[in-house]
Amino acid sequence: MKKSLTKAERLKSSSEIRRVFSSKCKVKVPGLAIYCAENDLRYNRIGVTFVKGYGNSVQRNRARRIIKEIYRNRKAELNQGFDIMIVVHPGMDRYSERERQMISLFQKAGIFAAGTRHSL
């Protein structure tokens, strides 16, 4: 499986994003929230958004890059066929902290594939 994040793996249209936010799959941990919905595709699609008032554009873009990099490195461990929206809350924007939060989110949402190890 390619590790890169292709254009097809990004949620872009507002109708797709609304569908994910209206789904019943919603999990929160301190600092992050995840919404997920099945997409009938053989791959996952991801989107990243922020709560209102989250820093300036530089801080948002850095946080978005960190989240996408963590997802890109962990996507081989995930079940396929989901649309995933990640909502970022203010907090520590260090890679290690966000990675811990995302692993916890994926475990709680049941998105990790069976038989994979989830260590840092």
Q: Is the confidence at residue 118, as pLDDT, over 70? A: no
Q: Provide the pLDDT for residue 93.
A: 82
What pTM value is reported for the model? 0.87
Q: Provide the pLDDT for residue 22.
A: 93
Averaged pLDDT score across all residues of the chain: 88
Q: Provide the pLDDT for residue 37.
A: 92
Instruction: List pLDDT tens digits, range 41-55.
Output: 999 999 999 999 998
Residue-by-residue DSSP string for 53-83: T---HHHHHHHHHHHHHHHHHHGGGBPSSEE
Distance of CA 14 to the CA centre of its chain: 17
**Spatial CA neighbour of 83 closest among 2, 31, 22, 11:** 11
85 by Cβ neighbours in 10 Å (0-12 / 13-18 / 19+) ranks as buried
The structural domains of the chain, ordered by start, are 7-109 (3.30.230.10)
Instruction: List pLDDT tens digits, range 54-99.
Output: 989 999 999 999 999 999 998 888 999 999 999 999 988 899 999 9
